[in-house]
Amino acid sequence: MVFAMLFAGMVGIAVISDDSEAEMSSVSHTTFTIDDEQVTSYRIGTGESFKVSIGFYEYATVNSLTVSYEVALLDDDGDKVTGATTRENGTLTMSGGKGSISLTVNSQSKAGNYTLEFKTTETGTYSDGTEINNVERVGKLPVKIVEPVTLTVTLENTSNVNIADLGVYFYIDGNKIDGSLKTVDIEAGKTSEVTFDYTGELKSGKHTFYVESSSANSNVSGLGEACSSTFYYDQGDYDYLNYIMGILLVVFIILCIWVFRKPVKNYGKPKARR
């Protein structure tokens, strides 16, 4: 009998070929943690890498347990991306039914929908002596890689004193962007640019952005909502449109060939005049 167990958060898939009560009670759970926060999906820009800690938990009581693993980044077609992770396989060090690994997912240049897949194989024995024979489980983390929107603001130091390490936060449509803190140095009477690559969700259309200082500073111009700039975002699916246009072009060519190669009916020779 095959049992599939799904959990909120990450998915643990158990393939079990024995009907014993001990194996039926076997439950595992895979978690993904990024920046000290457990996540069920992740979004990042092209050209950016990220570190992730993957935790594996076996809740059944066991006498012995060995867990080998394979980890891979899969593209939208389900194919493995070569060299995408700093670890690809190994054996977990288990303690109290728990084990974990940390790795880096290397930057990708192509935007799209990816999946970080963590596949485990368990061997050992349960507490009642039942053998654990190559029980396979899979944990998956959806990863969306997008083209970042680069926001740039020019700030001016209107004083005659250099400003060092001025901290500013970016705002989009009046909302402060978490993790957008940037620092900038501005010489007296000069200007400096500060940029931020935004990879969060955006609706298609017009948007505004600006920066606010993390501390009061009246000697810098270019701060605040009054200095907002505008940008336009379009998340149209051009691949889909190109696909449709390609089909229409092929149909048009076939129609043209059919029309111009259509045989002309032969109504016979014209009758001779008397």
Do the domain assignments include residue 129? yes
114 & 181 share domain: no
189 & 124 share domain: no
169 & 88 share domain: no
Ranges of H-type helices in 13-128? 21-24
Which residue segment(s) compose the domain that 54 sits in? 21-146
pTM over 0.75: no
Q: Which of 146, 167, 194 is the last residue of a domain?
A: 146
159 & 118 share domain: no
26 & 86 share domain: yes
56 & 118 share domain: yes
Q: Which residue has the tokens 């907002």?
A: 228
Do the domain assignments include residue 264? no
Check if the beta carbon of residue 209 is closer than 8 Å to that of residue 171. yes
pLDDT for 149 equals 95
Do the domain assignments include residue 256? no
Ranges of H-type helices in 124-215? none
Do the domain assignments include residue 269? no
Do the domain assignments include residue 241? no
| pLDDT per residue rounded down to tens, the chain (274 residues) | 333 333 333 333 333 333 333 343 456 789 999 999 999 999 999 999 999 999 999 888 889 999 999 999 999 999 999 999 999 999 999 998 899 999 999 999 999 999 999 999 999 998 899 999 999 999 999 999 999 999 999 999 999 999 999 999 999 999 999 999 999 999 999 999 999 999 999 999 999 999 999 887 789 999 999 999 999 988 654 444 455 667 777 787 787 777 776 665 555 555 555 4
Do the domain assignments include residue 226? yes
Using DSSP, state whether 273 is helix, strand or coil.
Answer: coil
Q: Which residue has the tokens 């654990």?
A: 132
115 & 196 share domain: no
160 & 140 share domain: no
Do the domain assignments include residue 273? no
118 & 176 share domain: no
Report the CATH number that the domain containing residue 133 is assigned in CATH.
2.60.40.2910
Strand partners, 187: none
102 & 159 share domain: no
Q: Characterise 214 by phi-psi region: left (phi > 0), alpha (psi -120 to 50), beta (else).
A: alpha
113 & 166 share domain: no
Sheet holding 42-45, edge to edge: 42-45, 131-146, 112-126, 62-74, 89-91
Domain total of the chain: 2
Do the domain assignments include residue 266? no
pLDDT for 230 equals 95
pLDDT for 27 equals 64
